[in-house]
Amino acid sequence: MTNWTIGIIGGSGLYQIDALEDAQWIRVNSPFGEASDEILCGRIATKKGHVQLRFLPRHGRGHRIPPSEVNARANIDALKRAGCTDIVAISAVGSLREELEPGRFVVVDQFIDRTKGRPSSFFGSGMVAHVSMAEPVCERLSAFAAAAVEKSGGKVAHGGTYLAMEGPQFSTRAESHLYRQWGADVIGMTAMPEAKLCREAEMPYALVGMVTDYDCWREDAAFVEVSEVIEQMNANGDLARKTVEALVASLPEVREASPLDTVLDHALITSPDARDPAMLARLDAVAGRVL
């Protein structure tokens, strides 16, 4: 049992958290390179006391970093170093289902990873590890997030499969139809390898997708335009901020341990005498508990 320190990764449409007390931007250095920005550290008052919160804008303040250039390893490592116990990601997504209309939120429970060329693991030569991604999100945290959307007055889908594409271009119509056939419900450019890295860092992860538009599978609809996406993002952003506040307020006073807190117990495969000291040094925050 411990106290909650919630990390919020803000995607398109969520660039700040207004309810933070004692807020200050703090630079957290990572051996994996530069994070997207400094981390906004503070706390949110609740009826039970205060919950520590760490906010990181995924694309940097001003949205200056494109999806393919987000240093997800540095971001997750920095949030771990900042004391986060759990991560809630907020992301703009396109809809692949008629019933998931713009303005609806989707609390994702599965992923299809179609990204390429992005470092997807903290581990590698000199320290090999394999974690399970069969259930890629935290059920407990996702339930809190879905309830928070509803309490904030939003419409939410409980569960959905997120197709992570490389970007920065939007899909072709053929790709959009293919992803629907695969069973994907929403599409975005940033959740992978973010979710994988959170699992390796032993931080439970939940993703709240904010639907901004229908992807181009609808034959009778005009192609998506960035101006339309931005307009919906701005509308979604207000609700996202309320959702974060409602989620924090709903947390139990004491954080019970999660099975995801210890996934590395059975994931390390490299023999102790074959481990690279330089690699181990880089993993001090992510895997220091078991190294």
Q: Write down the catalytic residue from 37, 77, 113, 213.
A: 213
263-291 core/surface letters (b: 16 or more CB in 10 A; e: else) = bbeebbebeeeebeeebeebbebbbeeee
Residue 213 designated active-site: yes
By CB atoms closer than 10 A (0-12, 13-18, 19+), residue 27 is: exposed
Q: What angle do CA 240, 33, 269 make, to 5 degrees?
A: 95
Q: Give just the sign of the alpha carbon dihedral 263, 203, 124, 191.
A: positive
The question of whether 215 is a catalytic residue gets the answer: yes
- Identity at 224, one-letter amino acid code: V
**How buried is residue 127: exposed, middle or buried, by Cβ count under 10 Å (0-12/13-18/19+)?**
buried
8 Å CB contact between 113 and 164: yes
Catalytic pick from 215, 265, 276, 284? 215
- At residue 232, the 3 state secondary structure works out as helix
**Which residue, among 97, 95, 99, has the nearest Cα to 213 in the 3D structure?**
95
**Which residues are designated catalytic?**
213, 215
